[in-house]
Amino acid sequence: MAFSRSLMPSFQEMTAFEAAARHGNFTRAAEELALTQSAVSKQIRQLEDTLGVVLFDRTKGRVTLTRPGERYLRSVRKILRDYEVETHAIVASAGSDTTLTIAVLPTFGSRWLIPRLPDFIARHPSLTVNLTSEPKPFDFSEKSVDIAIHYGAPTWPQGEATYLCDENIIAVASPAYAQARGLRDAANLLDATLLQQASRPGLWRHWFDEAHIDHPHPYRGPIFDQFAMTIQAAAVGMGVALAPGFLVEQELADGRLIKLNEVPFAGPGAYYIVTPLKTQHSALISAFTEWIIGKTTESRAAPA
């Protein structure tokens, strides 16, 4: 049975609540929303009456969230953020139904996909392509996404995963860092700063195991949230990074980074393109799938 609409707050009430929580003051919230202070206060009172809970502790000149208010604020902000994103998407596409929204891993998107994307757009000039960063699997029914790029195993609820490429890991450092420390291969890395990847905490240990080297502290070193940060840190001389070879193509080409091992280490997973089961036969999705498979095939065939 559906939740009673009479218990659902209005959009205006949620907006007033979020603004008041952010400012800690009804007057400043009213100024932002171009309302009177009494109007904001009334909307929040109505929201509290609807929910049956007190959302703010009111003191002279200031309001602070109660425990239920803090919890509800997280949900309200997500609702308002989704509303803003979806509204922007509709406005940006000018109502066109030839829009493709792709959820992509952040570094894969910025370093590999975007530089190649103009080729696909040139083949489909009337198409609007939207990219959104999604580092983890999600439910397609809860997001307005047509395609996802995924790393790991070929498993995704209500989605079909098609293989794109493996992940061949190499150790890289700036030429200056490598020269200053006499770094030539894996055996020389015992005294190097190991730049750690937050999403792959065991990557250095596996890499040293593959190289048959007993490193005493494979987990020690600065931690970075994304491969893009780890790669940049290596490029400016902060230490040695492990990265998929295709993500450091430009840095290797222009000399900002050098490889410290000629034989790459195969990562534990692979990259896949994932499509929702209900739309996997869409002509546009099929066209993009065919295109990106071709591009990853070209990357695998390119010299290292």
Domain CATH code at residue 63? 1.10.10.10
Run of H or E residues at 164: strand 159-173
Quick check: 257 and 230 in contact, CB under 8 A?
no
Query: What percent of the chain has pLDDT above 90?
Result: 48
Q: Average per-residue pLDDT in the chain?
A: 87
Residue range of the domain that includes 249? 167-266
Which candidate, 141, 152, 264, places its Cα nearest to that of 210? 264
Boundary-marking domain end, from 92, 127, 155 = 92
Domain edge (last residue) among 38, 67, 92: 92
Which residue, among 247, 250, 257, 245, has the nearest Cα to 178 in the 3D structure?
A: 257
Indicate the Cα dihedral angle 105, 98, 126, 159, nearest 10°.
Answer: 30
Give the list of residues 6+ apart from residue 156 with CB closer than 8 angstroms, or none.
137, 148, 150, 272, 274
Assess whether 144 and 283 both reside in one domain. Answer: yes
Question: Does residue 171 share a domain with residue 158?
Answer: no
The reported pLDDT for the residue numbered 265 is 81
Q: Do 138 and 79 belong together in one domain? A: no
Report pLDDT digits (tens) over 31-75: 999 999 999 999 999 999 988 899 999 887 688 999 999 999 999
Tell me, yes or no, whether 276 and 135 share the same domain.
yes
| DSSP at 36 | -
Same domain, 177 and 241: yes
Same domain flag for 161 and 171: no
280 & 145 share domain:
yes
Of 92, 110, 127, which residue is a domain's last? 92
What residues contact residue 165 under an 8 Å CB cut-off, 6+ apart?
246, 270, 271, 296, 299, 300
Strand (E) or helix (H) holding 102:
strand 99-104
Q: Return the SS3 of 88.
A: helix
Tell me the C-alpha to C-alpha distance, in Å, between residue 227 and each of 105, 125, 253, 266.
10, 31, 18, 16
Q: What is the pTM of this model?
A: 0.67
For residue 207, count other CB atoms closer than 10 A to its CB: 23
Q: How many residues does the chain have?
A: 304
The pLDDT of residue 142 is 78
Angle between helices 283-301 and 114-123 (to 10 degrees): 130
Quote the tokens at residue 298.
């070209």
Same domain, 25 and 87: yes
β-strand pairing of 223-224 with 196-197? parallel
CATH code where residue 126 lies: 3.40.190.10
The answer for residues whose C-beta is within 8 angstroms of residue 106's C-beta and 6 or more apart is 133, 135, 226, 228
Same domain (yes/no): 138, 280: yes
198 and 77 both lie in a single domain: no
Query: Percentage helix, strand, coil, to 5, in the chain?
Result: 50, 20, 30
Q: With a cut of 50, which residues of the chain have pLDDT below it?
A: 1
Taking CB atoms within 8 Å and a gap of at least 24, the contacts of 206-211 are 206/265, 206/268, 207/169, 207/171, 207/242, 207/265, 210/265, 211/186, 211/187, 211/261, 211/265
Distance CA 171, CA 234 (A): 10
The per-residue pLDDT for 125 is 87
Residue-level pLDDT at 1: 44
Q: pLDDT value at position 303? A: 55
Residue 63 sits at the vertex; the CA angle it makes with 60 and 68, to the nearest 5 degrees, is 140
| Best CA proximity match to 169, nearest among 231, 238, 106, 111 | 231
Q: Based on the domain organization, do 125 and 175 belong to the same domain? A: no
Task: Say yes or no: 173 and 249 in one domain.
Answer: yes
Q: Per the structure, how many domains does the chain have?
A: 3
